[in-house]
Amino acid sequence: MFDGLVDLPWWGYVLVTLGLTHITIASVTIFLHRHQAHRALDLHAIPSHFFRFWLWMTTGMVTKEWAAIHRKHHAKCETEEDPHSPQTRGLRKVLWQGAELYRAEAKNEETLRKFGHGTPDDWLERNVYRHSVIGVSLMLIVDFILFGAIGITMWAVQMVWIPFWAAGVINGLGHFWGYRNFDCADASTNLVPWGILVGGEELHNNHHTFATSAKLSAKWYEFDIGWMYIRLLEMAGLATVKKTIPVPRFGEARATIDLEMLQNIITHRYDVMTRYLRSLKDVYGEELSRLKAAHGDRFDIKKLRAWLQDDSESLSASARQQVADALAHSPRLAMLYQMREELAALWARSTASREQLLKQLQDWCHRAEQSGVKQLHELSMRLRSYAA
């Protein structure tokens, strides 16, 4: 049996396989995801062509298809039109059959036409990289020549790496289980500690909140290895970062609520809403405890706690009804819920003019500061302190 040109101990083959798959995940997160799908950075031709070539051999994915499907995922997130949401298709389906969902959506010409704009359309893309079977077959031949029979196993691991970790784990668990730094409209979560295996893509809630950021980490304890590679490319003059997650800035509390303050709040809207939910967590808990004490098992307190933090439009009809019933039995809870809805309306798409939004903000801060709820008063002061 042919042993290949390279002879390694068993652990050497493991390390080489992990190294090869790591190059693949780095190519996906830097080139396909952050560069092509979201335009968060510009890449020099050298790394751009390398990533395209490597992905052709190790995944067979077509750039236009991947970018289009991912953009549609963001545009239609958690709806029936989302190509791979576990909220609508079930976790098991996305986790274990994510690659099949990807291939099915890749055949949708409308998706490619509507969401695939701006992706490579040169001679290589049209005549070489669109032939996926040739690329992965070439990788099989190279692995066999270099490593012999074990190279076939290494190739198999390479082929399942992206379908499992990216199409399955990130698209599945990343919208089902984990922690959330930001209260964005979808169900995206952050997963730990898979950063090295999936290139930083586990910070999925951060990404869905700031989709055009080249950096996916937001907290000091989060590690985005993909961002480390991007910074190295940038220092070598091979990449240019266009956007990153905005860091909240603060100054002296404003005595007058003006248009600049409104713009600062809109800019930091995710930090605003996250702060709202965290600061009022204890107050929500107190009111829910009173509901349980007064009405027993009439209300599912655990579900109510989650529903009260979700966008009302994303809830089912039965969930909305239970929330309405709970608010009817708790005027204080109703006030807090209404204040949250009104705060979110400041940056929601609407026909309101900036002057109308400013008046709403002025009214909101006045009522918050006169509410008698310490947390609301403190939050209003925080809103007055956001800086550009």
DSSP 8-state class, residue 253: P
Largest CA distance in the chain: 82
* Confidence (pLDDT) at 326: 86
The structure tokens listed for 289 are 């405890």
Q: Where is pLDDT greater, at 350 or 211?
A: 211
Amino acid at 123: W
The structure tokens listed for 28 are 């996906």
* Confidence (pLDDT) at 274: 85
pTM for the structure as a whole: 0.82
pLDDT tens-digit series, residues 120-172? 999 999 999 999 999 999 999 999 999 999 999 999 999 999 999 998 999 99
3-state secondary structure 84-110: CCHHHHCHHHHHHHHHHHHHHHHCCHH
pLDDT at 212 over 90: yes
pLDDT tens-digit series, residues 291-324? 888 887 788 888 888 777 776 666 778 888 888 8
Q: Say how far apart CA 112 and CA 336 lie, in whole Å.
A: 43
* Confidence (pLDDT) at 313: 66
Q: Decide if 93 contacts 84 (C-beta within 8 A).
A: no
**What separation in angstroms does the CA of 9 have from each of 125, 146, 343?**
38, 14, 61
Unique residue bearing structure tokens 């169900």: 187
- Indicate the pLDDT class of residue 1, thresholds 50, 70 and 90: low
Q: Decide if 371 contacts 377 (C-beta within 8 A).
A: yes
pLDDT at 255 over 70: yes
Q: Average pLDDT over the chain, rounded to whole?
A: 91
Q: Say how far apart CA 180 and CA 317 lie, in whole Å.
A: 25
* Confidence (pLDDT) at 349: 67
Q: Say how far apart CA 366 and CA 370 lie, in whole Å.
A: 6
Q: Decide if 369 contacts 377 (C-beta within 8 A).
A: yes
Amino acid at 222: E
pLDDT tens-digit series, residues 34-44? 999 999 999 99
The structure tokens listed for 270 are 């995710």
Q: Say how far apart CA 8 and CA 6 lie, in whole Å.
A: 6
* Confidence (pLDDT) at 311: 67
What 3-state DSSP class applies to 250? strand
Cα torsion at 110, 111, 115, 121 (round to 10°)? Answer: -80
- Indicate the pLDDT class of residue 106, thresholds 50, 70 and 90: very high
